[in-house]
């Protein structure tokens, strides 16, 4: 346990009370002539089912403290993240899901091991540390992968003639699309960098909020937030670079002809 | 080996479907033929002008030679099939300058250096002045290239290609953005450069008067087929068949 303070369980009645807020908003919106009832109810139902299911599964995993259960949960999360990213990238470039999943798995394994061992000092495959940190890492890396891949592919499609002009002067695909890669990479890492710039000033970032609610000392919570932010810059950046290298490979033939 | 032609195309065919096959997710589209059985042979140091309707396959013909598209039939550059060349070596031997001018950022000098750097060529002591002169461009090399006029930009793009000292220059509408007098001056300077460096010149143009300066041979592409392949003087003096005569005689019929 990080802290010793006890945490209040909201209870089922508490959940019901909170959901009244959602219903109240839907009602107010209706009064303004905006009908969001269907979307709102679906979102409510999905969030309830998904989160409670995850809570139950994680409860089971936490209780076991088996390394394979932790690895299994991380693998499932990685596959879902990889295929979600693949589906979003599909719009501009088909069949990238397997490769993106592989990249996410590699980056998560490397980053998670380093952070838990070198930064936090966790002993063993402890679910309490590996799963939340792995989850936030995967979620961010997934977004970075989608941003980088779509940006690069869209730019290439839009500026195909310019890229060809460079290739015609003897440039390699890497040289001809250097500026696009730079823009796609920057675009993918900017969200974390921006989050770091405003961290703690405009709002309390997620990890800090969560650990504070869990009863952790504010200073310890701040330290966790810092560890996570440094980790996210690395995870997002490395994922973006690897995904961009893979997309660039797909986007040109062996005879260096653009395929988009 | 030395008497191998600079460019030799034998029965080259390019279809819309063939172009689409390169693409990862190509939309289904027309099944047209872009180049249909084109054969030609340009000797080393020779000059060939290509005329024809818009969408008649002129640009595609140039893009076959630097292997930006795949063609059926045989395309040989300096006696070697383009598929046997290292692609980057092929492209700096036969440099293609597209119709639109693309700048990659920076001053006039920086623009010239981009292509050198991509090819690992040292940028010190390159004959920048000579290259600009060969396209009739007299501008301050420190000026941002984006401040040049469209005509000047296009000539800068050609000068950028010249600094690679290509054996073959493939120019798509080099005079398109120029007035008649500037066009004549540039073509004459370019021709002198090509002669001095024993380079082969292939020029797509829509202006028959460009042939007066370029001389050499001319090829007319109509609907992807070679409608005429003769000395430039034959075109200028009207020794052509009826189809070609109709094409040449239609003022403004071509862009």
Q: What's the confidence (pLDDT) of residue B255? A: 39
Closest-CA distance, B119 to chain A, in angstroms, reads 6
Q: Taking residues A40-58, report their average pLDDT.
A: 94
Q: What's the confidence (pLDDT) of residue A204? A: 87
Model pLDDT for residues B159-168, shown as the tens digit of each residue: 999 999 999 9
Across all residues in chain B, what is the average pLDDT? Answer: 92
Does the structure show a pLDDT above 90 at A236? Answer: yes
Higher-confidence residue: B247 or B144?
Answer: B144
CB within 8 Å: A161 and B100? yes
Q: What's the confidence (pLDDT) of residue B2? A: 61
pLDDT band at A80 (very low <50, low <70, confident <90, very high): very high
Q: Taking residues A38-60, report their average pLDDT.
A: 94
CB within 8 Å: A161 and B114? no
**Minimal Cα distance from B170: which residue of A?**
A168
Contact between A180 and A152 under an 8 Å Cβ cutoff? The reply is yes
Q: Which of B50, B30, B44 is nearest to B227 (CA)?
A: B50
Across all residues in chain A, what is the average pLDDT? Answer: 93
ipTM above 0.90, yes or no: yes
Longest dimension (CA), chain A: 70
Q: Taking residues B120-128, report their average pLDDT.
A: 93
Does the structure show a pLDDT above 90 at B27? Answer: no
**Overall CATH class of domain B7-249:** alpha beta
Compare CB distances from A170 to B83, B88, B157 and report the shortest one's residue.
B88
Does the structure show a pLDDT above 60 at A175? Answer: yes
Q: What's the confidence (pLDDT) of residue B247? A: 87
**Minimal Cα distance from B118: which residue of A?**
A171
Q: Taking residues B194-210, report their average pLDDT.
A: 94
Does the structure show a pLDDT above 80 at A213? Answer: yes
Does the structure show a pLDDT above 90 at B129? Answer: yes
Q: What's the confidence (pLDDT) of residue B250? A: 61
Is A182 an 8 Å CB contact of chain B? no
Provide the whole-model pTM.
0.89
Does the structure show a pLDDT above 80 at B158? Answer: yes
Q: Chain centroid to CA B49: how far? A: 9
Does the structure show a pLDDT above 90 at A234? Answer: yes
Q: What's the confidence (pLDDT) of residue B34? A: 93
Does the structure show a pLDDT above 50 at A1? Answer: no
Q: Taking residues B13-33, report their average pLDDT.
A: 82
Matching residue, tokens 């090829």:
B219
Model pLDDT for residues A159-173, shown as the tens digit of each residue: 999 999 999 999 999
Q: Taking residues B11-15, report their average pLDDT.
A: 94
Q: What's the confidence (pLDDT) of residue B254? A: 42
Does the structure show a pLDDT above 70 at B201? Answer: yes
What is the rounded CA–CA span in Å between residue A81 and residue A110?
A: 17
Model pLDDT for residues B36-65, shown as the tens digit of each residue: 999 999 999 999 999 998 888 999 999 999
Q: What's the confidence (pLDDT) of residue B18? A: 85
Compare CB distances from B98 to A168, A253, A260 and report the shortest one's residue.
A168
């Amino acid at each position: 346990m990080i802290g010793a303070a006890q945490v209040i369980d909201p209870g089922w009645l508490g959940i019901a009370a909170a959901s009244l807020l959602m219903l109240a908003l839907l009602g107010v919106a209706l009064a303004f002539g905006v009908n969001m009832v269907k979307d709102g109810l679906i979102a409510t139902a999905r969030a309830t089912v998904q989160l409670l299911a995850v809570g139950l599964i994680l409860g089971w995993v936490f209780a076991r403290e088996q390394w394979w259960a932790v690895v299994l949960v991380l693998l499932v999360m990685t596959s879902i993240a990889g295929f979600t990213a693949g589906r979003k990238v599909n719009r501009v470039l088909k069949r990238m899901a397997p490769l993106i999943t592989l990249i996410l798995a590699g980056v998560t394994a490397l980053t998670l091991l380093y952070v838990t061992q070198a930064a936090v000092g966790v002993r063993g495959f402890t679910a309490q540390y590996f799963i939340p940190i792995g989850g936030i890492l995967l979620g961010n890396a997934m977004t970075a992968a989608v941003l980088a891949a779509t940006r690069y592919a869209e730019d290439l499609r839009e500026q195909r003639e310019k890229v060809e002009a460079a290739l015609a002067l003897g440039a390699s695909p890497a040289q001809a699309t250097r500026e696009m890669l730079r823009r796609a990479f920057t675009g993918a890492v900017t969200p974390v960098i921006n989050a770091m710039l405003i961290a703690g000033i405009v709002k309390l970032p997620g990890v800090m909020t969560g650990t504070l609610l869990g009863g952790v000392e504010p200073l310890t919570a701040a330290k966790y937030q810092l560890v996570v932010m440094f980790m996210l810059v690395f995870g997002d950046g490395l994922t973006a670079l690897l995904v961009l290298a893979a997309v660039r490979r797909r986007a040109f033939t062996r005879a260096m002809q653009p395929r988009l | 080996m030395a008497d191998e032609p600079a460019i030799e195309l034998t029965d080259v065919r390019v279809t819309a479907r063939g172009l689409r096959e390169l693409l990862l997710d190509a939309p289904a589209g027309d099944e047209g033929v872009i180049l249909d059985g084109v054969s030609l042979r340009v000797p080393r140091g020779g000059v060939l002008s290509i005329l024809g309707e818009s969408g008649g396959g002129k640009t595609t013909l140039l893009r076959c030679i630097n292997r930006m598209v795949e063609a059926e039939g045989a395309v040989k550059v300096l006696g070697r099939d383009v598929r046997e060349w290292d692609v980057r070596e092929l492209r700096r031997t036969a440099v293609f300058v597209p119709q639109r001018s693309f700048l990659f950022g920076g001053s006039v000098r920086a623009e010239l250096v981009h292509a050198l750097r991509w090819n690992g060529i040292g940028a010190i002591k390159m004959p920048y002045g000579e290259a600009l002169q060969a396209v009739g461009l007299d501008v301050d090399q420190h000026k941002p290239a984006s401040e040049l006029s469209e005509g000047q930009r296009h000539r800068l793009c050609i000068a950028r290609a010249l600094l690679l000292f290509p054996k073959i220059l493939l120019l798509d509408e080099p005079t398109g953005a120029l007035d008649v007098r500037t066009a004549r001056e540039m073509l004459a300077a370019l021709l002198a450069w090509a002669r001095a460096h024993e380079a082969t010149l292939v020029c797509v143009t829509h202006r028959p008067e460009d042939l007066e300066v370029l001389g050499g041979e001319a090829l007319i592409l109509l609907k992807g087929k070679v409608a005429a392949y003769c000395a430039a003087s034959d075109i200028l003096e009207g020794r052509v068949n009826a189809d070609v005569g109709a094409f040449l005689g239609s003022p403004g019929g071509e862009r």
